[in-house]
Chain A
């Protein structure tokens, strides 16, 4: 079925590509500017930050145009499937960064947050981009209201995540500098217990591993999808070599991977979505490989420490940026993710709350950010520990948006999820 205006849909795809280029250039400019300024001791690269912000802003504008073009071209607000939604969230994160950056002007934060936009946009390309008409359940003005507002909130949470991560790195960096024998900087926060430092360090490693798992997934999924590899089973089509087959698949019927691993090696138990678990297995393996390569040949020490030595910035400002982003995102999330969602649920399904997995996870995310806001005023929990909660909060958000669709079934299943 052709969309109402195919030319606009094509235009949207190109505009989106422009936005992607904008975010990539912003990332490169932010990072090169930061590294260049540091190497030249402030003599050069003074303008990189401003250029980066301009490139980033251009990306946001192109992205906004892409969304408008797709809206007009497809005939409905473009948040109706995973491709559109993930792209939309990339847009809101970058928009949120522009808002926060107007307030605080911190270039290095841009270097950390812009990749989130790059990553989300790249991830959206994993899903089929074709325009499909809306099913009756989605035909409501609450689709743009609920999804866009919630996505905007999630964009601010993404910025809060970036700032919290940078805070954790910065604090770790100051700690390392103090350990190395330098005079402890005045902004080194109160000494923490040894176990807390150890777990903080492990936590950072786990976090970078997870990030590399997601990067690894895309490095694997995008080329294979565009090269058109597929393994067809009765009920599903795999785009990655099937090691975990769907339920009921016979072992070894699809040849061998690398000549010796039979495909599938095992069939999924019937309670599992075999295909998604298969993808997860690959992602974990590739993530592990990437992590090992980076650690062994690039960092030559734990990744957290390696990055911590490079990060600069005032921890207190970073903490405040993170808090500020949550303080904007939290009311928006309450409005879009819970209140609008409940009004729409009441209108479409007759009840405002079902404890459908998607709703439940939105509630969990809301609870985590509520805990974050309370922890910040609890003695002994401000600083690092709350920063960790902001990091975990964004993990819960990502799981709500992606994991629930891919691994758990529910009323929101029309949102689709196939990888």
Chain B
């Protein structure tokens, strides 16, 4: 008798079965008879064809491979969110890859491959294929599994991948199989035993988990689902986080070093301020984010700049007159030096440079890099200017002055800025829930084995045919160990 083979996976299928025992494909004529579409309506047939297309394992594998190839392309070309350059993409890529290729790559979306339309379309196609493949197989598979056919002809048994002849009787065998965790069905002279049926549902559990994962990935596009904010906070100050109702204080940022000078810890002593009051205070460090109000707050980076300059006011004779501390980020407009004299800051540049075009002094950046003061010493009673001085805080330039007083730097204390990153990602629970399901499904799929045994009592002998959906090797060992079969004998093929 001709052995019928599953056209999808090639497994020998039970005679007259409607579905493949291995992959669940509907058997029968290669071209399934379809209900004739209603006159004038080609849509039914079109949908049918689409369904068949997406239900094919080959198409699924092809789509998986396409995503892999697309991902390779995206990893070889520097992506817009990862390159380390100050230039915007439209300047950076033409310089990086040449004007032709740079523009082409940008136009093809290869410079932001993973957020491009075509990558998203590929993922959507895979999701479609995953849903249709699963439905297409799960329904017939489930039907087949819950209603096993117990009574089988001898030639069905002899066609199974593992066969044996056992001594003993069916009742004894049933007891033995039960002990080994098999579930038993009996029908006249036949017995059917199976174990690990749940394993067959494993792939579909994985697929359901992957749907959650895909949902989470796409949900990032929903406005407000994936927010991120950056704040730079100098030591001792409080900065309002944009678009939230709280502010963060950095009481102190600390960088701890190993003896060899490598950084060992970055820690911010942070406080959360809501409605003008500090709600709580906690240290924040790399790998230990701080959750607050739906946001997670991360230690992202840090920066150090000249913070407070401790200055000496010197008499022209070189004798110190007094000291004062000047905040280099926000200096006061005037400082009282004594009851008689005050110092008026006439100009302050935090990053002094002479504008090459106008030759006027100006700031080169927003950072405190090259602070320069120009001050006047003024008699507080008469408001007459006693003298002037200019001071370059950094470097060892000689003081410029005119009149009885000048300024000198005693020391400059650094000011630490901590960079905190705030994330509010509503997709996270879906992603990790989905991944949990995926992993559970994998354990079920790969660590449970669906083993099926058919036994038939035939003129005093027991004929056994066994099929392992996974781990045939293990089932062979199991059959060899069955009582009544001398080990190494029997007809185990």
Query: Which residues of chain A have a CB within 8 Å of any CB of chain B?
Result: 1, 103-104, 132-137, 139-140, 142, 271, 317, 320, 324, 327-328, 330-331, 334-335, 338-339, 342-343, 346-357, 360-361, 363-364, 367-368, 370-371, 374-375, 377-382, 404, 408, 410-411
Contact = CB atoms under 8 A, between A and B. Distances in A.
B397 to A, nearest CB: 32
Contact of A334 (B8, B264, B421, B438): B438
For A137, A331, A343, A370, the residue with the greatest tally of chain B CB atoms inside 10 Å of its CB is: A331
B61 A328 contact: no
Given A136-B285, A364-B72, A378 B8 contact: yes
B58 A378 contact: yes
A327 B448 CA distance: 11
Interface in B54-72: 57-58, 60-61, 64-65, 67-68, 71-72
A355 B114 contact: yes
Contacts of A379: 6-10
A317 B8 contact: no
B223 interface: no
Contact of B228 (A137, A350, A408): A350
Interface string B67-84: 110011011100101100
Given A140-B287, A361-B75, A367 B68 contact: yes
A331 B443 contact: yes
A353 B265 CA distance: 24
A191 B258 CA distance: 65
A14 B383 CA distance: 82
A136 B65 contact: no
Contact of A331 (B7, B57, B439): B439
Interface of A is mostly: helix
B196 to A, nearest CB: 14
B284 interface: no
B92 interface: no
B298 to A, nearest CB: 5
Interface stretch (B151-159, B317-325, B329-337, B470-478): B470-478
A312 to B, nearest CB: 18
B423 interface: yes
7 contacts: A133-B260, A135-B263, A136-B265, A334-B442, A354-B82, A357-B75, A364-B71
B203 to A, nearest CB: 9
Given A324-B471, A379-B6, A1 B258 contact: yes
B296 to A, nearest CB: 6
A200 to B, nearest CB: 19
B473 A364 contact: no
Contacts of A411: 82
B65 A139 contact: no
B262 A132 contact: yes
Nearest to A370: B64
B457 interface: no
A356 B82 contact: yes
A324 B446 CA distance: 9
Interface stretch (B41-49, B425-433, B481-489): B425-433
| The 9 residue pairs across chains A and B that have the minimum distance between CB atoms | A331-B442, A1-B260, A367-B68, A350-B423, A140-B287, A136-B286, A327-B446, A379-B10, A360-B75
Contacts of A103: 473
Contacts of A350: 228, 289, 296, 298, 300, 421, 423
A121 to B, nearest CB: 28
Contacts of B82: 354-356, 410-411
B351 interface: no
Contact of B259 (A1, A346, A368, A375): A1
Contacts of B64: 367, 370-371, 374
Given A1-B259, A367-B67, A378-B57, A347 B442 contact: no
Contact of B23 (A324, A347, A353, A377): A377
Nearest to B72: A364
B99 to A, nearest CB: 15
A378 B22 CA distance: 11
Instruction: Please classify how large the interface on chain B is, using the bins under 10, 10 to 19, 20 to 34, 35 or more.
Output: 35 or more
B446 A330 contact: yes
B177 interface: no
B6 A374 contact: no
A26 to B, nearest CB: 23
A378 B287 contact: no
Contacts of B471: 320, 324
B435 interface: yes
Contacts of B79: 355
B74 A360 contact: yes
B246 interface: no
A167 B61 CA distance: 22
B281 interface: no
A91 to B, nearest CB: 23
A103 to B, nearest CB: 7
B265 to A, nearest CB: 6
B65 A320 contact: no
B75 A338 contact: no
Given A355-B82, A360-B71, 7 more contacts: A104-B473, A134-B264, A137-B287, A350-B300, A367-B68, A374-B60, A379-B10
A347 B425 CA distance: 12
Contacts of B303: none
Given A363-B71, A370-B64, A408-B76, A346 B428 contact: yes
Contact of A408 (B6, B75, B428, B470): B75
A136 B8 contact: no
A320 B473 contact: yes
A136 B425 CA distance: 24
Contacts of A367: 64-65, 67-68, 71
Nearest to B57: A378
B51 interface: no
A353 B263 CA distance: 26
B286 A137 contact: yes
A327 B74 contact: no
A335 B438 CA distance: 9
B178 interface: no
A328 B425 CA distance: 32
Nearest to A329: B446
A15 B114 CA distance: 45
Contacts of B289: 347, 350
Nearest to A2: B259
Contacts of A342: 431-432, 435
B462 to A, nearest CB: 26
Nearest to A136: B286
A317 B473 contact: yes
Contacts of B443: 331
Contact of A135 (B68, B262, B296, B442): B262
Contacts of B438: 334
B96 interface: yes
A364 B75 CA distance: 10
Nearest to B257: A133
B67 to A, nearest CB: 6
B266 interface: yes
A335 to B, nearest CB: 6
Nearest to A331: B442
Nearest to B56: A378
B61 A355 contact: no
A361 B71 CA distance: 8
Contacts of B266: 136
B466 to A, nearest CB: 15
A387 to B, nearest CB: 15
Nearest to B468: A320
Nearest to B295: A350
A334 B428 CA distance: 17
For B8, B10, B288, the residue with the greatest tally of chain A CB atoms inside 10 Å of its CB is: B10
